[in-house]
Amino acid sequence: MSTIETQAYHFTEEVVKLLLDKFEGETVGSDEMNLELIMAALSPDFKPGDKVKKKKKKSKKVSLDEDGNVIKKKKKSLTGYTLFGKENKEEIKSEIQKLVDSGEEKVPHVSMQGTLWKKLSDEEKEEWNAKAKESANDE
């Protein structure tokens, strides 16, 4: 179970315990256990109508040319390492699965990619870098 699932489980457990304790013997939907009373029990300091602070969205900064037209940013060029990861995605997944199947802990994709990249010779790495430059020139 992931961390967020574990936290959600424990949070839900606490909410249910509170409801069972506070509304023991009451029928859901009755006048003694309606939505308003449940919400008041869960959030006693909240008053309906209170404004909730919202985070402001950051405005995107754009560059303009002399005529006021938006200048598109150039994409970062692909590296040999990145291209290697893209083209070997299935092999990397397979290596991770082998580890898991053998009882070892699952490693992040990028960690396995780095491990496999480090195993390459300098010549192989140069080949991947050349392929990446080629693909950048094709675009």
- Tens of pLDDT, residue by residue over 22-69, are 888 888 888 888 888 888 888 888 777 777 777 888 777 778 888 878
Task: Please state, in angstroms and rounded to a whole number, the distance separating the CA atoms of residues 1 and 70.
Answer: 46
Question: Model pTM?
Answer: 0.47
pLDDT of residue 49: 75
Q: Which residues contact 62 (CB under 8 A, 6 or more apart)?
A: 70, 71
Are 88 and 116 within 8 A, CB to CB? yes
**19 contacts 43 by C-beta, under 8 angstroms:** no
Per-domain residue ranges of the chain: 3-42, 80-138
Query: ∠ CA(20), CA(23), CA(26), 5° rounding?
Result: 115
pLDDT above 70 covers a percentage of the chain that reads: 99
Which structure tokens are listed for 94? 């397979």
Long-range contacts of 15-22 (CB under 8 A, 24+ apart): 15/42, 18/42
Other C-beta atoms closer than 10 Å to the C-beta of 112 total 20
- 138 — pLDDT class (breaks 50, 70, 90): low
Contact 94, 45 (CB under 8 A): no
